[in-house]
């Protein structure tokens, strides 16, 4: 199966990625930090550099995925007036990307 993982190489996403790769799955890890590309490749995953606040990036990146692991990473430099608005935007982007790609399986924190 093909999985998309958000949360880059954090405390939850990294172990999830490692277990999926060990089980033989194809994994793409989304990161907003290009300095994480090498670490993601070392794990055996495909990096996708972009922002979860970019709906078009997510729609493109989710293409062909069987399942997604979704989390909303903290963004202390958000353009929004409050954290709740930023969270709503990312959640709406995740919904749009999963619906656009007809992804049936997903989980998140």
Report the CATH number at residue 57: 3.40.50.720
Report helix, strand or coil for 50: coil
Binned at pLDDT 50, 70 and 90, residue 22 comes out as: very high
Give the range of the structural domain holding residue 66, as residue numbers without chain letter: 2-108
Helix (H) or strand (E) holding 81: none
Over residues 36-59, the pLDDT tens digits come to: 999 999 999 999 999 999 999 999
Cite the beta strand spans of 17-104 per DSSP E: 26-31, 46-49, 67-70
Instruction: Tell me the average pLDDT across 73-80.
Output: 70
Our count of domains for the chain comes to 1
Of all residues in the chain, what percent carry a pLDDT higher than 70? Answer: 91
pTM: 0.91
CB 66 within 8 A of CB 105: yes
Buried b (16+ CB within 10 A) or exposed e, 28-52: bbbbbeeebeebbeebebebbbbeb
């Amino acid at each position: 199966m093909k999985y998309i993982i958000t949360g880059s190489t954090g405390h939850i996403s990294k172990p999830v990625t490692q277990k999926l790769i060990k089980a033989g799955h194809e994994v793409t890890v989304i990161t907003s930090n290009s300095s994480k590309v090498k670490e993601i490749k070392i794990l055996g995953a495909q990096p996708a550099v972009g922002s979860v606040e970019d709906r078009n990036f997510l729609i493109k990146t989710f293409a062909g995925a069987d399942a997604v692991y979704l989390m909303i990473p903290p963004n202390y430099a958000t353009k929004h007036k409050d954290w709740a608005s930023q969270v709503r935007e990312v959640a709406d982007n995740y919904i749009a990307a999963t619906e656009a790609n007809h992804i049936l399986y997903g989980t998140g924190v």
